Each structure stands twice: as structure tokens, then as C-alpha cells.
Structure 1
Amino acid sequence: MSVAKHALNWTSVMVAVPVGCAASLVTLGFRGVIELINHLLFHSGQEITQAMTVWPWFCWPLIVGLGGVIAGFFLNYATTLERSATLKTDYLEVINARLDAVPTKTSLFRALSSIASIGSGASVGKEGPMVQLAALCGSMMGRYCFKSLALKNSDVVAMAAAAGLASVYHAPLASAIFVAEIAFGISALQRLIPLIISSAVAVMTMWSLGFRSAIYPFAEAQFQLSPATLAVTLLVGVLAGVTGWLIIFLIGRSKQLFSRINNLPLRLGIGGFAVGILAIASTDILGNGYEVIVTVMAGGVLLKALLLLLVLKLLATALSVGSNAVGGLFTPSLLIGALLGVSVATVAGLLGMPVGNALLFAAVGMAAVLAAVSQAPLMAMLMVLEMTLNSSLLFPVMIAAVLAAMVVYRLQTTSSYPVVTRHFSRADAWVDFDNGIIAQFIVSGAALQPHESVGKALAVSSLKRERFVYIINAQEQFLGVVSIHDISHKILEHELTLDSPVSQVMDENFPCVYQYQTIREGWEAFAQVTLERLPVLNNPQERKFMGALTKTSLIQQAKAFI
């Protein structure tokens, strides 16, 4: 059956319901595996930051390092499969490239690698592999359950990915926005509605199973917008942008350093060992940081500890991600943002600024750093609002998130998601296409004066491999063109000789463009003719010949954003 022309149809809406339900169950299963490992390894149901303390401190580097080695073996097998089969495993890449399916084996082995990293305390989030597995579940449902429906498999994958993320953070709207914003590069309503339905069903499933609460406890507190709090919000936004840039920079440098180690198990083992060393200063850097965020929001961390933990978490995350530990950046970014926001507000309060409840700036920082790292500000602000269920945070979160994203963008930092970088490149190419001028693409063109012979025109055409030769006067004004086809025909009909002047066969009404017209106007000019080249003049009044514009050059320019 052919695929529906529009993404929004009743089929996609109906499919979104079971996909959302299945995706939420997959994320619960992954969470259960992590909890089982905690029970087996630490005999505890607590988060890793507390569970690790059942072992003496000198064992911590060994535990995290050994987890990295095991993760490396799984990841090495997955990457070997990807290279041999030239697969794209990441669900965002599958959605963006409109591929047929999420690869099963590589997704599962990457998930096992992530379980080993997360279970041993690597500083990565759970959301990455959880959403990947949800996307894999959606892909399998699309291939086996909805094969006969008029629906692309990549659209089912997108629904499952949004539902998986919504299950993790209980933020359906933000999750739908994330997939649309990152993978599609747009937030078009037609593609967004099935994602919203799938995400909402996933959260409703979680609620029906007893997981119904705000992720972070800020539902009752009220943010007081004033000149002082606005100033602090702006400062948090700028600093969050710089911090986001620093996170991406440190991860990039870490990847460069770890890339010298070709053996994946050794690479992840060293990364885990290094994180374990940092954990000696504070176990709060271990894991994704969820429970630490709750502690920070409750005011249980002093300023010095906040700043120390901020630095340590930055380093731990760079080491874990840089060593190729499979996991997400969402929750680590949220923790770093919470630490930054509370630190800035606390310092402002100590300086005498009436900032009110400094702990509320944890949410502001969370949205800002997440927006900076992901370069998806709309998703970041919606996610924090949904996780805190606090509408009073709307304006400060919006301001800080957009400001942080702009800072990172102006610093020309690539996103932590390569798909976003490609979307930005296409957007920039589109702007260049709309604002560029024809003068940027002028090439030389064969030109003769009216008195020169048709024989010379034939020779120039053969040398330049051009169908038309342009005719200009002594002042280089454009007069018209001669067609090599017309010359050959007239010579064969004995209407011309090789010594005849080209003025006898000159076409004075040949279409042209001007050097300061936009590229889009040049494109439209080519759309009216079947020519490969058009003469370029300086302006309509002087009509001085400048060269030629080729259709190929415009196609290459358009290729960058198509």
C-alpha cells in the first residue's frame, strides 16, 4: 500500500495509542533491569549515589572501571556490526533519514553497554538507551503489526521515541516537541499531533501503573518576577549558555583523547576508573543525578558544595561520554543546570539582591543548560515546566532557555545531537540562498564583437563547449547572442559563410539576469527557460556584460538545504 501523502491522518493517530503504551512498558523494563543490578551489586534499592557507599571508597574506581570494561565489550560488538553493515542505529538518525527500521542487534548491544555503564555508576543519563529501546519497539511494531498500513516505519519510530522520552520524564508535550524539533527539524502540526497522542498515552499508562507525581518538587513554590529576579535570570541564561558550550567542548576534547585508545573495553574501563576517582570527592557525581537534583531543590546543599559538585559533575560527564559510555545527556545537563542556577541565585542573595527563593533558580538553570546542550530551547522549557508542574516558572524558564541557546549558537558550537547541526546547516544554506546575490556565482563567458566572423564563433564555442556565444560592443555592453545551432544550419543552407559577421545571426532578445539580483531571482529566471547558462549584466541601464550564471552553480547551492 502506498504511503499517505500527509503525515497527519487517522491511521497515524490510531497507531500512536498502542505505540505509546508499548514504549512506556519498555522503559519500565529497562528501569527494572537497572534496579536488579543495584540489588545484585549493592544489595540496595537506593540510587547509585547512596548504594555505592556499601563498598569501601577504594573499591569505587574499580567498580565504575569494571563496568566500563564490560560496557566496552558490548559497544565494541555493536560498532563492529554498524561498520560492517553501514547501519544507522541512533533513532534520531533513522527518523531524520526516513529509514525503514531501527537495527535490532546494534540497539540491543548498545543498551547492554549502557546498562553496564549506568549500573556501575557512569555519569550518563538513563534516557538515551531507554528511548532507543522504545524506538526499537516502535520499529518492530511498524514492521510486524502495522506493515499493511499506509504509514512509514520512521513515523512509527518517531511516535515510540517521543513516548519513551515522555515515560522517563512524565513530560508528554516536551517529548513530542523534542522529536519534532531534533529529528524532523520542524514543529509542523501535522507531524506533531501523533507524537503528542503517543506521548500522552505513555504518561497515562505510567499514571495507571502508580507512577503519578511531579518529577521535581516545585509545584507549590511561586516565582516572583521582579527587576532583581529578572537580572539573575538573565545572568543564569548567559552563564548556562557558556556552561553548555563548556560541556560540549569538554566532551569533544575527551573524545579526542580517548580516541587514541582503540580497544573499547579498555577505553570505557579507563573512563569509568577516572569517574570512580572523582567519586571519592563526592558520590553525588555518579549516575544521572536525579536524586541529587531533588536534594539541591530541597536546599540541602551549601554553596561551596554546590560549586564543587558543579565542577566534578562537568568532568565526570565529559569522561563518561568521552570514553563512549552509552547514555543520555539530559539528566546530567539538568543537574549541572540546577547547581548553576542555585549557585548564581545564592551568590546574588549574599550580595544583597532580593532574589526571593533562590532554590527556584534550580529549575531556571535546568532549562537553560538543557537548552544550551541540546539546542532545542522549546523542548527544554516545556520539559522543565512539565516536570515541576509550576506555571510561575514559565517566563524565567523561557527567557533563560532561549538566551542560553542563543549564546551557544553564537559561539558556533555544534550540538550534542549531530542531527541538529545538520538542520542548522540547512537553515543557514536556506538563508544564504534567499539573501545571496548572483554576483557570487559569475563565471567567464565566451564573448565576441558584432563584426567578428561566424567561423570564429564556431571556434570559440568548440573551445569553451558552449551552445551560445555572447555579443558585446567596444564598451562591453551586451547586445545579444548567437546560437551555434543557428550558425551551422545557415551555413549548411548556404545563407552564411564562415567569414560572415556574427551580427547577421544575432538574437537581440535573449534573456539575461543582473549581478545584484538575488540567487532566488536567478533560480526563477532559469525556471522560465531551458538554458544551462544566462548572461549576467551589471544593471538594466548600462547593460555591461559581466559573465555568465550557470544552472549547475544554483543547483549546488540549493543542494545544501534540500
Structure 2
Amino acid sequence: MSSNKHVLSWAAVLVAIPVGCAASLVTLAFRGLIELINQLLFNSGDEITQAMRVWPWYVWPLIVGGGGLIAGWFLRFAVDIEKRETVNTDYLEVINARLDAVPGKTSLFRALSSIASIGSGASIGKEGPMVQLSALCGSLLGRCISASLALRNSDVVAMAAAAGLASVYHAPLASAIFVAEIAFGISALQRLIPLIIAAATAVMTMWSLGFRSALYPLAEVNFTMDPSSLTLTVLIALLAGPTGWLLLALIARSKKLFSHIRALPLRLGLGGVAVGILAIATTDILGNGYEIIVQLMAGHYLLPGILLLLVLKMAATALSVGSNAVGGLFTPSLLIGALLGVALATVARQLGLPIENPLIYAAIGMAAVLAAVSQAPLMAMLMVLEMTLNSSLLFPVMIATVLATMVVYQLHAASTYPVVGRHLNRADAKFDFDNSVISQLIIPGAALQPHESVGQALAVSSLKRERFVYVINDRQQFLGVVSIHDISRKILDQEITLESPVLTVMDDNFPCVYQNQSVREGWEAFARVTLERLPVLSNPQDRLFLGALTKTSLIQKAKEFL
């Protein structure tokens, strides 16, 4: 019986509903705090890109930098607790490792750090801390209900994480698949049912509270399926892979540079100052980029402005994330993808290609870059479809996400989520295990001729420390084995002497494996016996003795994915 059979129980389904409601309320509370900070700092309910303009330009670096200082101060407390108590705060790690709970204090400190960064204009997404707090809420609920309903706390955390992400982007299916792809590994499809229910409940709660419209206004625009459109879609996908790889590389480089600054408040403060300086060129780089995507889809940007914003947004995001600002990469990745898609579509149109509406390629670029950065193509595909409510995008988005992910795989880029790398490594190890052959694991085995004495067999066994000695003929063909225990017993019973030939005690019906069999077949052969070694032969016809296969070598190979 599967240890996770309870995931498909009615209890899990029923628990998913209140978890989804609670997660949506948590995300609304977080959003309200950000809006309150905007009112206090800028006396405005506008997005940060507009609100920042109430202050003169030379104050912008101080505002973003000051927010970074405060964010670093809070983050330092979280990091100190994590080091002292050796806990892992990230909800994805909690789900993946099947831990008991999401740490409360560190989650709250990281959320406060994120509020300071986001409220002051750091170029990061809001979804990271929102989902983390939703997961914390799910963990607290799980502690109350999981014992009586036989649910693991990590399963409730997964439901809450999917619901929190769905509340942010109004994309329940994509959110459920994201958690399944990133935290569980896509093979764990059985876990999707409660995740989908939790995510869908969260979106229904958002709808009932008045948040019902599509996030991005592309529902009325249709993608025309023709050679030009498909060619442009493929081009966007092929360039989105390197773009995502470049963004991750810039973030890695930024983290390395900022790591020389040990004080977290100073580190996040300097990162904020740097982003503020970039904002002098355009405040559109501030915040997560949601409002800019909407304006881009409305056609408010010309090509030079799009290209400038693409470069500056990547730099600002690398600086914010690299300085350890707590937040997500979803919406910044979506904005970078939208800019890339519209820029390429605009250039294609200027070159004379029959592109009807360049703005629809914003959605294709969004999906492609998000897939490249997260390396979760199913999630990226479904999220863009759900956020735009445009079913005509299904086929181009499928192409874009898959191609972009393949490109970034070829570039050997690490996902923004480290757990993805571990899933991929396990998948690679599993594939290698299933497709390797026994000949790659052969070790030498002790063998004697049939006329040699049992005394020699005892000597060889003592030297090689093996329970069985193999018997072969002059042509190296395998004949059978002799058991050291049988030899000892028969000598004590005076049935044989030390000079007796091994042929007299040979077992000619001993199990064996063949060199061209798969490693998995070797594993199955060991499952049928209690032996530590099996003889390896050339093939069933010739039966040439080649050596031995050990159970230890198979276990070492299997532990890479188990």
C-alpha cells in the first residue's frame, strides 16, 4: 500500500476548501499592508511606478535604499534564527522534505523584510512572501487537523501554497501544477487533486470579494494560426531561453558581489540605492511590473522604450534579488517576457511580416520567459492562459514554453528554485539506472577449474572473502558454483577431503545474470535471492564467465534517485 494514499482521501479534499479560503485572505492582508505603506510614503493608491513621482528624482534612491536597509534588518533576524536552529523556512523545501511544519518566526521576519523591499519599490514580485505566508497559515491549520485526519502537515502546506499562488494570479490550475512540478516532482500527479481544490476555492473566494476580472486584458484578441505567427512564436521561444538564462546568471553574479557585504541591512540598502539610481531613467522598473504589463498590452510603449525597459528591468531585478531582497521572480519574469515578445513582434512587423497585433505576443513572451526562469513549463503555460482568459493562445504558448525550457536545459541553467535541480538530478539518475547495462558494473570474480581441489576453493574464498567460488571450464564457460559452507560441512561429515575436486560439491543450477541485461533486470534478479553477488555471463548460449555483479553496486547506483 502506498504511503501517500491518504492524499486522495475525502479528508484531504474537505481540508483543501478551508485551506483555500484562509490562503486567499492571507494574500489579501499582505496586499493591504503594501497599499497602506504606499499611502504612508506617497499619499497615493497608485502603483509604485506612478506613486514614486510625488517625490523629486533625487529622493528615489534614498527611498528604495532606505527600504532595503529596513528589509535587511528584518532578514538578518530570520537568517540568524535559521542558522541557530538549523531550520529551513522555504515552503517548497518543507513540502519536498515532508517536514513537520513551516517555521513561524522566520517566515514572519522574511515577510516583514519583503514588505519593506516591495513597499519601497524593489524590483521583485509580491508572490513569494504571499505564498510563504499562505503556507505558514496552512501549516498552522495542519497542526490542528492533520493528526485526527491522518494528513501530513506538509500536504496541508502544499494545498495552502497552491491556494496562495492562485490568489495572487487567479490561476488555480497553474498554481496547483506549480507546486506539484516544483515541490513534489511532476510524477506525483495523485497529489494534484487536493491542490486543485484548494487553489480553485481560493480563486472563488477572490471572485466573491470582487476580484473577478482577468489580470491581463487580452481576452478579446485572437492569435491567428499562420506561418508568420508560428515562426515568430518559435523565435520568441528560442530567445526567451537565453533571456531567462541571462537573468539567472545576472542574479547569481549579483549575489556573489553582494555576498562580500556581511551586514544584511547594508547589503539590502545598497541594493535599493542601486535600483533607485536605475529608476532615474524610468520609474517603470520599480515594483513587480504588473501595471507596466497592462500598459504594454494597451500599446503605450514604442520600440526604443521597450528595449530600454527590458535591459533596465533585468538589471534592477538582478540587483534586488542579488542583494537578498525577499520576494518572487514571477511577475518580473512576466514583464521581461512581455517586453521581449512585443519587441520581437514589433521588429517583425517593421520588417514586413504580416503580424496583425504585436501586443498578443506579450503573452507568448511572458509564458516563455517564465518557463525558462522557473523550469516549470506546464505551470507557465497554464498560468498565462488563466491570467489572460484567451484560449486562442493555447497552442503558441505550448510551443513557447516547451522550446524555452528545452533551450535553458541545454544551457545548463539552474532553476530559480533549487529543489527543481534536485528533482532533475533524481530523474536523470533514475533514467540512467533504467538504461544502464550490467556490463558497466562487472567486477572480477574468483573462479576455479572443475578438477581443482576444494582446499584450493577454501583458500581462494579466504583470500577474496567470498561465500561462493565460481567453476568454469577451459573455454571460460560457466559451469556452476561451490559453497564454502557446503565444503566445510561435508569435510566435517567426512564426505569429502581437502583434495576432493570441486566438481563433487558443485551446484550447477545457480542463478546468474547476463552482461547486456539492464541494471533494473539485475535489481530484479537480486530481489529473488538472498545473495550478495551474482555471476555475470556473456549470453544464454555461450555462457562465458565475465565476472560478478554485487548488490552493493546496485544500491549505490539506486540511492542517487531513491
User: TM-score, normalising length from structure 1?
Assistant: 0.97
> Equivalent residue for 1:149?
149
**1:228 alignment partner in structure 2:** 228
8 Å contact kept, 1:3–1:150: no
- Cα distance in 2, alignment partners of residues 494 and 255 from structure 1: 76
2:420 corresponds in structure 1 to 420
Count of residues in correspondence between the two structures: 561
Separation of aligned partners in 2, 1:133 and 1:388: 26
Q: Post-superposition shift, 1:250?
A: 1.6
Q: Which residue is 1:408 aligned to?
A: 408
Give 1:4 shift: 7.1
What stretches of structure 2 of length at least 5 have no aligned partner?
A: none
**1:435-456 per-position Cα deviation (integer Å, ceiling 9, x unaligned):** 1100111112122222332222
Structure 1: how far apart are the matches of 2:194 and 2:144?
20
Is 2:82 the partner of 1:82?
yes
- Residues 448-478 of structure 1: per-residue CA shift (max 9 Å, x gap): 2223322222222122221111122333222
Residue aligning to 1:275: 275
Q: Secondary structure at the match of 1:6?
A: helix
Letter in 1 for 2:277: I
| C-alpha distance 391-161 of structure 1, shift in aligned 2 (>3 A) | same
Write the deviation string for residues 212-265 of structure 1: whole angstroms up to 9, x where unpaired: 111011111111111000000000011111111111222122222222222222
> Does residue 320 of the first structure (1) align with residue 320 of the second (2)?
yes
Q: Give 1:172's aligned residue.
A: 172
> In structure 2, what is the equivalent of residue 204 of structure 1?
204
> Does 2:219 correspond to 1:219?
yes
Aligned to 1:470: 470
Matches within 5 A, 1:28-427: 28-186=28-186, 188=188, 190-427=190-427
- Does the CA-based 8 Å contact 1:4-1:150 persist in structure 2? no
Residues 163, 199 of structure 2: 8 Å contact kept = yes
Q: Is the 2:127–2:168 Cα contact (8 Å) retained in structure 1? A: yes
1:548 maps to 2:554: no
Report the equivalent of 1:17: 17
2:514 aligned with 1:514? yes
Secondary structure of the structure 2 residue equivalent to 1:523: helix
Q: Which amino acid aligns with 1:551?
A: K
Aligned to 1:443: 443
Q: Give the CA deviation at 1:145.
A: 4.6
Tell me the SS of whatever aligns to 1:481.
strand
CA distance in 1, matches of 2:157, 2:525: 41
C-alpha displacement of 1:429: 1.4
Between the aligned partners of 2:494 and 2:529, the Cα distance in structure 1 is 30
Deviations along 1:397-437, one digit per CA (max 9) or x if unpaired, are 11111111111122222211111111111111121111110
Do the aligned partners of 1:3 and 1:152 also contact (CA within 8 Å) in 2? Answer: no
Residue identity (%): 76
Output the CA distance in 2 between the equivalents of 1:370 and 1:189: 22
After superposition, give the CA deviation of every residue in 1:288-328 in whole Å (9 maximum; x if it has no partner). 00011111111111111111111111111111111211100
State the AA in 1 paired with 2:525.
A
Q: Distance in 2 between matches of 1:460 and 1:318?
A: 64
**Offset, 1:146:** 4.8
Match of 1:488 in 2: 488
SS at match of 2:141: helix
Instruction: Work out the CA distance in 1 between the residues paired with 2:64 and 2:327.
Output: 15
CA contact (8 A) 1:177 1:187 kept: no
Instruction: Please state how far the C-alpha of 1:336 moved relative to its aligned partner.
Output: 0.3
Tell me the amino acid that sits aligned with residue 269 of structure 2. G
TM-superposed deviation, 1:187: 6.1
Report the AA paired with residue 257 of structure 1: L
Letter paired with 1:371: A
Work out the CA distance in 1 between the residues paired with 2:462 and 2:256: 52
C-alpha contact 1:367 1:381 (8 A) present in aligned 2? yes
Q: Which amino acid aligns with 1:227?
A: P
Secondary structure of residue in 2 paired with 1:204: helix
Contact 1:176–1:199 (CA under 8 A) maintained in structure 2 = yes
Aligned equivalents of 1:136, 1:428: Cα separation in 2: 32
Following the alignment from structure 1 to structure 2, what is the Cα–Cα distance between the partners of residues 426 and 176?
22
- The answer (yes or no) to whether the contact 2:146–2:152 under 8 Å persists in 1 is no
Does the CA-based 8 Å contact 2:6-2:12 persist in structure 1?
A: no
Task: Output the CA distance in 1 between the equivalents of 2:67 and 2:447.
Answer: 72
Distance 1:167 1:146 in 2: 23
Matched, 1:502 2:502: yes
Q: Name the CA distance, whole Å, in 1 between partners of 2:187 and 2:332.
A: 26
Of 202-211 and 138-147, the range deviating more from structure 2: 138-147
Q: Which deviates more, 184-193 or 21-30? A: 184-193
Per the alignment, residue 528 of structure 2 pairs with 528
Structure 1 residue 100: Cα displacement: 1.2
Secondary structure of the residue that 2:548 maps to in structure 1?
A: strand
TM-score in terms of structure 2 length:
0.97
The CA distance in 1 between the partners of 2:544 and 2:390, in whole Å, is 65
Q: 1-side partners of 2:134 and 2:11: how far apart?
A: 20
Indicate the larger mover: 181-190 or 400-409: 181-190
Identify the range of structure 1 (126-135 vs 96-105) with the bigger mean alpha-carbon deviation. 96-105
Residue aligning to 1:434: 434
Question: Post-superposition, which runs of at least 4 consecutive aligned residues in structure 1 deviate over 4 A?
Answer: none
What letter corresponds to residue 27 of structure 1 in structure 2?
A: T
Aligned mates of 2:236, 2:92 — CA distance in 1: 30
Q: Distance in 2 between matches of 1:269 and 1:327?
A: 15
The 1-side partners of 2:406 and 2:182 are apart by 16
Instruction: Give 1:104's aligned amino acid.
Output: G
CA–CA distance in 2 between the matches of 1:103 and 1:328?
A: 19
SS of 1:500's partner is: coil
